[in-house]
């Protein structure tokens, strides 16, 4: 009799899109689909979109056995019940407990975690961490930073997620970088957060604000104000646009300060950057510059002994991490 393979259904839910996939134990994505959602979408519509994708994945799996469902979601989440706590980029989900909801509706065990925590888990076991391990340098402490719509962080210590008392640790995007009273306000309501200065949303917002103030009449970005995205700005920086270059310089500064704080808090030997903004920074070859700036802020030579790399899992660390969470618990 042919043995039926076992799979995990995994969701990666960000601030503007939902991805669901079916993965095997090696982290290979066998099937996936995604759907976008606008900011301000209501709770019922969001949950309907997400559950609809999960049902598609479950239908696709037959006759494979489903070990469970893993959910990586943007924002603070209590892992026992998958309860969302004031997620800045998904505010309609505040107070929603995803684990009991979907275990009841779908009939499979569900595990939920913060997307950056699970991306860190995925990178450690099947991404950059595995690459280092194969080279004989298994990381003791890995810090993952996703720089996309928002900024999230995750820490893996000796192979395990560092979650904190309530599962809310490593919200690196909300460390204070600018303490001035008139610093840019973050979506969380506090001023001066790293997310307010270096996320994809921040890059677009800061650029629009600089255009409105004037001073860059020759910038190609002045005609893009209504449809501004971080990708547009990063591309323009690569072409030498003066406004874009100044914006990206600010992003590099903010990330350097933030990562120096990370260095002193967690003493990582591996820092992994992921997300759409990171892809743009890699295209501009800015990771070496960021690493050197972080080292100039390190308090000791030992703190400088870290590697800074882009995600080895591309767009998939959250989904791979969500599947890894299933395999660790099923």
Give yes or no for residue 285 having a pLDDT over 50: yes
55 φ/ψ angles, rounded to the nearest 5 degrees: -65, -35
Q: Is residue 171 part of a domain?
A: yes
Same domain, 144 and 263: yes
pLDDT above 70 coverage of the chain, percent: 99
Q: What angle do CA 242, 243, 248 make, to 5 degrees?
A: 100
- Torsion sign, CA atoms 271, 275, 279, 284: negative
Q: Is residue 128 part of a domain?
A: no
Residue 7's pLDDT band, with cuts at 50, 70 and 90, is: very high
- 136-142 CB contacts, 8 Å cutoff, 24+ apart: 137/269, 139/268, 139/269, 139/270, 140/269, 141/266, 141/267, 141/268, 141/269, 141/270, 142/268, 142/269, 142/270, 142/271, 142/272
Number of folded domains that form the chain:
2
Q: How far apart are CA 29 and CA 8, in angstroms?
A: 10
Q: What angle do CA 155, 72, 121 make, to 5 degrees?
A: 35
Q: Is residue 1 part of a domain?
A: no
Residue with tokens 């904190």: 164
Same domain, 320 and 279: no
Q: Is residue 129 part of a domain?
A: no
Same domain, 267 and 141: yes
Give yes or no for residue 1 having a pLDDT over 60: no
Residue 2's pLDDT band, with cuts at 50, 70 and 90, is: very low
Q: What is the pLDDT of residues 24-36, one digit of tens each?
A: 999 999 999 999 9
Q: Is residue 306 part of a domain?
A: yes
How do strand 307-310 and strand 270-274 relate by DSSP bridges? Answer: parallel
Q: What is the arithmetic mean of pLDDT over 200-216?
A: 92
Q: Is residue 56 part of a domain?
A: yes
Same domain, 115 and 173: no
Same domain, 259 and 170: yes
- Beta-carbon contacts of residue 153 (< 8 Å; ≥ 6 apart): 116, 120, 143, 144, 145, 146, 170, 171, 172, 173, 262
Q: Is residue 130 part of a domain?
A: no
Same domain, 151 and 89: no
Question: According to the model, what pLDDT value does residue 89 have?
Answer: 86
Residue 45's pLDDT band, with cuts at 50, 70 and 90, is: very high
How do strand 83-84 and strand 110-114 relate by DSSP bridges? Answer: unpaired
Answering whether pTM is above 0.85, one says yes
Question: According to the model, what pLDDT value does residue 189 have?
Answer: 92
Give yes or no for residue 255 having a pLDDT over 60: yes
Q: How far apart are CA 48 and CA 54, in angstroms?
A: 10
Give yes or no for residue 3 having a pLDDT over 60: no
* DSSP category for residue 185: B
Same domain, 79 and 140: no
Same domain, 193 and 62: no
Helices (H), 144-286: 194-198, 200-213, 230-238, 242-266, 276-283
Same domain, 245 and 290: yes
Residue 83's pLDDT band, with cuts at 50, 70 and 90, is: very high
pLDDT above 90 coverage of the chain, percent: 88
Same domain, 116 and 195: no
Q: Is residue 253 part of a domain?
A: yes
User: Which residue range(s) make up the domain with 29?
Assistant: 6-121+316-329
Q: What is the arithmetic mean of pLDDT over 134-144?
A: 95
Indicate which CATH number applies to the domain containing 147: 3.30.420.40
* DSSP category for residue 168: -
Same domain, 292 and 321: no
Question: According to the model, what pLDDT value does residue 168 have?
Answer: 86
Q: What is the mean pLDDT of the chain?
A: 94
Give yes or no for residue 40 having a pLDDT over 70: yes
Same domain, 73 and 199: no
CA 67 to chain centre: 25
Q: How far apart are CA 157 and CA 215, in angstroms?
A: 47
């Amino acid at each position: 009799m042919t043995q039926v393979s076992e799979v995990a259904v995994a969701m990666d839910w960000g601030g503007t899109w939902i991805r669901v996939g079916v993965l095997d134990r090696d982290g290979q994505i066998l099937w996936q689909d995604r759907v976008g959602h606008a900011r301000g979408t209501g709770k019922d519509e969001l949950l309907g979109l997400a559950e609809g994708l999960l049902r598609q994945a479950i239908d696709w799996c037959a006759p494979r056995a489903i070990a469970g469902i893993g959910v990586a979601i943007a924002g603070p989440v209590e892992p026992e019940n998958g309860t969302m706590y004031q997620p800045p980029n998904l505010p309609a989900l505040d107070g929603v407990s995803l684990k009991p909801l979907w275990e009841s509706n779908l009939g499979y065990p569900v595990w939920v975690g913060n997307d950056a925590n699970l991306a860190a888990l995925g990178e450690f076991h099947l991404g950059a961490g595995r690459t280092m391990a194969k080279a004989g340098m298994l990381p003791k402490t890995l810090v993952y930073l996703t720089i996309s719509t928002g900024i999230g962080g995750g820490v893996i210590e000796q192979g395990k997620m560092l979650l904190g008392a309530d599962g809310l640790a490593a919200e690196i995007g909300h460390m204070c970088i600018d303490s001035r009273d008139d610093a840019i306000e973050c979506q969380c309501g506090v001023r001066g957060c790293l997310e307010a200065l270096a996320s994809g949303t921040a890059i677009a917002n800061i650029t629009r604000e600089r255009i409105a103030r004037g001073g860059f009449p020759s910038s190609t970005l002045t005609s893009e104000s209504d449809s501004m995205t971080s990708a547009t700005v990063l591309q323009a920086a690569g072409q030498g646009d003066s406004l874009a270059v100044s914006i990206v310089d600010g992003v590099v500064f903010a990330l350097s300060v933030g990562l120096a704080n990370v260095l002193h808090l967690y003493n990582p030997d591996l820092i992994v950057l992921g997300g759409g903004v990171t892809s743009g920074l890699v295209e501009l070859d800015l990771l070496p510059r960021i690493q050197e700036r972080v080292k100039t802020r390190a308090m000791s030579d030992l703190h400088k002994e870290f590697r800074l790399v882009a995600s080895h899992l591309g767009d998939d660390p959250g989904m791979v991490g969500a599947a890894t969470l299933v395999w660790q618990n099923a």
